[in-house]
Amino acid sequence: MRWPSAWMQTVISVHGERGEQWLAELDALLASCAEQWELQLADRSPYELTYNLVLPALRKDGSEAVLKLGVPCRESRSELAALQLYEGRGAVRLLASDAERGVMLLERLRPGQLLSEVADDAAAVRIAAEVMRKLAVPAADAAAVGEAAGGVSFPTALQWARGLERLRQRHDGGTGPLPEPLVRQAQLTFGQLFATGKSEPQLLLHGDLHQGNILSAMREGEASAGWLAIDPKGVIGEAAYGVIPLLMNQLPETRAERIELLRNRVHILSEALCLKQERVLAYGFSHMVLSAAWCVEDGVGDFHAALETAACFAELQREEPGLE
């Protein structure tokens, strides 16, 4: 089978030699999965591939499914554990899996409309807020499930934030192509958030709940289609951090329009989920700088765009009281 070269390059860029080896063995892995679960697999993916291979599949009983494969890593194990924890509540249902090989068999969501295709942005944000409520799981419950799933330890927001420390380590204390004052401010803001957020409930967050990871789905016995999440990363943090992926995606071209849309989204989510706007904005700024650092680290993505969005969050922060 022939896979998109850009996707293959991303796999190698992120995983190095392990990625190259995984790609070399991919056809054999697909054949093994098809035999093990009695699947008919499509010979190409209709989905936009990022880090994993996702293929439509037909099961022996005629039902549809989706086979998802990726280089086995901590993130793939966290995703699997999160889906086991959700048990189909607010998220795609896990049908079978092989953690050692980085493989998951998932229900296929039909009609499968992306939330990104909903023209009314305010309506889409409210839909996403409802999905977030369904996915809310206390961190203690997540830890118990992770332990039962082979000792999976979900990363924390604090551990994610250390990506900025890695940036400095790789650049001898500097920040590479990222402006040092911006990185310093993001590190300080993360520190303030963690220091002042000890009373905030800690949850298992999806970690990547943006408009492209929420799909419409009609399940048997339901009167109408609802909305379900796919592709959870699984990270422990407060609810205010969990909304950032939704805020940072599908933004207008101009700065003024971007700021206005972010302002509206933050207001809707803060009201719907009882969040403190100043914490949402602070996480937004810090995470966008972290996202830029990840782009540099993985050699994937546009760190300039991430920094532009960070600047929009910083401007909105000036409209709100500081962290307490």
Q: What is the average pLDDT across 15-32? A: 97
Burial of 225 (0-12, 13-18, 19+ CB in 10 A): middle
What's the angle, vertex CA 221, arms to CA 80 and CA 117, rounded to 5? 65
**Residue 147: what pLDDT?**
63
* CA-derived radius of gyration, the chain: 20
Quick one: tokens of 255?
């700065």
Identify the pLDDT of residue 151: 67
For 96-142, how does the pLDDT look when each residue is reduced to its tens digit (9 = 90+)?
999 999 999 999 999 999 999 999 999 999 999 999 999 999 998 88
Closest by CA to 65, choosing from 100, 90, 40, 32, is 40
Give the DSSP letter string of 211-276. GGGEEEE--TT-SS-EEEE-----EEE-HHHHTHHHHHSS--SSHHHHHHHHHHHHHHHHHHHT--
CATH number, domain 114-317, options 3.90.1200.10, 3.40.50.300, 3.40.1350.10, 3.90.1150.10: 3.90.1200.10
For residue 146, the model assigns a pLDDT of 60
The domain made up of 5-108 has a fold known as: Phosphorylase Kinase; domain 1 (3.30.200)
Per residue in 183-194, pLDDT tens?
999 999 999 999
- What are the tens digits of pLDDT across the range 229-264? 999 999 999 999 999 999 999 999 999 999 999 999
Distance CA 61, CA 225 (A): 23
Query: Could you read off the pLDDT of 33-47 as tens digits, one per residue?
Result: 999 999 999 988 989
> Is 265:257 a contact under the CB 8 Å cutoff?
no
Domain regions of the chain by residue span: 5-108, 114-317
pTM: 0.94
